Structure 1
Amino acid sequence: MSNNMNWRDLCGRDDLIPGSGVAVKIGSQAAALYWPEPGREQLFALAHRDPFSQAEVLAWGLLCEQGGEWSVAAPLYKQHFRLNDGVCLEQPEVVLPTWPVRFNGDRVEVGLS
């Protein structure tokens, strides 16, 4: 991650649902925030809007892990989006925006460039 990253407070650790997603706002955009493995400090944030259904539902998708790589299955049409880069596994030309996120003590921060 860039040293020029501007980290902003997003929410508290207690606001997360371990092993699931929550909907948050990053600036004016709805985002889905995931903490797939409680006990690990790895967080992911990607756009909340499903590009296939146009519904803001991705925070409520099913988390999937295969070969150490996490994705979320969209609740309506079941496309899978990789959490680390937003790429749709079924249609790789479709890519969702992602943001860097991290824990800073008991707070969750999002990186804005």
Structure 2
Amino acid sequence: MSGTVTVDWTRVCPLDRLEPERGVAALVDGVQVAIFRIDDELFAVDNLDPLSRAYVMSRGIVGSRDGAPTVASPLHKQVYDLRTGLCLDLPGVTLPRYDVRCRDGLVEVRLRQEE
């Protein structure tokens, strides 16, 4: 049987530690996650650039394309939609994304794992 297993929420940091329009890397249950605070919304994606295989996405350039919040890889500049993880420049390339929320002033991330 295959499916998605959801693990518990992991506290990362207080919300006020996240600077708007910038990324930060966090180790969540052994996974490097890039967290972004954009226009009072939180986004969490894998910190591993799917093309260069370097852990750099938290240092990416934040922006928007057609109203979608985005991050551009700091190495090769491919742009990813932070809502979906889809690469907007190369079809078929995806940046894994994770659940993220602010609860009682603390940013929490929840990983989803495949069985």
TM-score (norm 2): 0.84
Which residue does the alignment assign to 2:27? 25
Using the TM superposition, give the Cα deviation of residue 110 of structure 1 relative to its aligned residue in structure 2, in angstroms: 1.3
Give the total of aligned pairs.
Answer: 107
1:59 aligned onto 2:58: yes
Structure 1: distance between partners of 2:48 and 2:56: 6
Using the TM superposition, give the Cα deviation of residue 5 of structure 1 relative to its aligned residue in structure 2, in angstroms: 7.2
In the TM superposition, structure 1's runs of 4+ consecutive aligned residues that sit over 2 Å from their partners are: 4-8
CA RMSD across the alignment: 1.6
Which residue does the alignment assign to 1:81? 80
Segments of structure 1 that go 5 or more residues without pairing to the other structure are none
Quick one: percent identity of the two aligned structures? 36
- What is the DSSP-based 3-state SS (H/G/I as helix, E as strand, rest coil) of the residue aligned with 1:90? coil
Higher strand proportion (structure 1 or 2): 2
Which residue does the alignment assign to 1:72? 71
| Preserved contact between residue 25 and residue 33 of structure 2 (Cα < 8 Å) | yes
Q: Any idea what the Cα deviations from partners look like across 1:41-75, whole Å, max 9, x if unmatched?
A: x1000011112111111101111113321110101
Aligned pairs for 1:1-113 within 5 A = 6-37=8-39, 40=40, 42-113=41-112
